[in-house]
């Protein structure tokens, strides 16, 4: 399992926008949550410091109050003439998706259609 120290070193050496990580007091929980989710979504993949780091930052960025509204199903907020529309936020960090592709929950098994026959 990836440790806090390994992820910390990787982020400090490789990630320019690390504000969510730097400001967090719950880094270990973010790593556990990211590792748990990634293991479910990519069961065949060995988790590296890089992948866990990207997903951990993504999990911490998800604590933004606007994103919390999205999780609660809020589609838009308006005040006077101002309106904010919320699109659904991806569960998988964009960098992780770029490296590993689609997660298991998005992959659809191909269905074989038999026309004019039957299975015995």
Give the integer Cα–Cα distance in Å for 9 and 70: 32
Predicted local distance difference test score (pLDDT) of residue 18: 92
Give pLDDT tens digits for 43-98: 999 999 999 999 999 999 887 666 666 666 667 777 788 877 766 778 899 999 99
Task: State residue 58's pLDDT score.
Answer: 92
Q: How far apart are CA 13 and CA 2, in angstroms?
A: 16
8 found inside a domain: yes
34 Cβ contact partners less than 8 Å away, ≥ 6 residues apart:
52, 55, 56, 58, 59
How confident is the prediction for the chain on average, in pLDDT?
84
Burial class (CB in 10 A: 0-12, 13-18, 19+), 120: exposed
Q: Has this prediction a pTM greater than 0.85?
A: no
Residue 90 belongs to a domain: yes
Find the helix packing angle between 49-61 and 27-41, rounded to 10°: 110
Q: Count how many domains the chain has.
A: 1
Give the pLDDT of residue 112. 59
pLDDT value at residue 57: 95
In the block, tokens 């780091």 appear at: 53
Is 117 inside any structural domain?
no
Share of the chain above pLDDT 70, in %: 78
Q: Which domain holds residue 54?
A: 4-106
């Amino acid at each position: 399992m990836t440790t806090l120290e390994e992820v910390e070193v990787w982020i400090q050496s490789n990630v320019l926008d690390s504000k969510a990580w730097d400001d967090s007091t719950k880094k270990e929980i973010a790593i556990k949550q990211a590792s748990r989710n990634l293991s479910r979504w990519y069961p065949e993949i060995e988790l590296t410091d890089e992948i866990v780091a990207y997903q951990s930052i993504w999990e911490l960025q998800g604590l933004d109050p606007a994103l919390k509204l999205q999780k609660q199903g809020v589609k838009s907020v308006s005040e006077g003439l101002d309106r904010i529309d919320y699109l659904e936020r991806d569960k998988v960090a964009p960098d992780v998706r770029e490296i590993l592709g689609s997660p298991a929950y998005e992959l659809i098994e191909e269905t074989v259609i038999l026309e004019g026959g039957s299975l015995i």
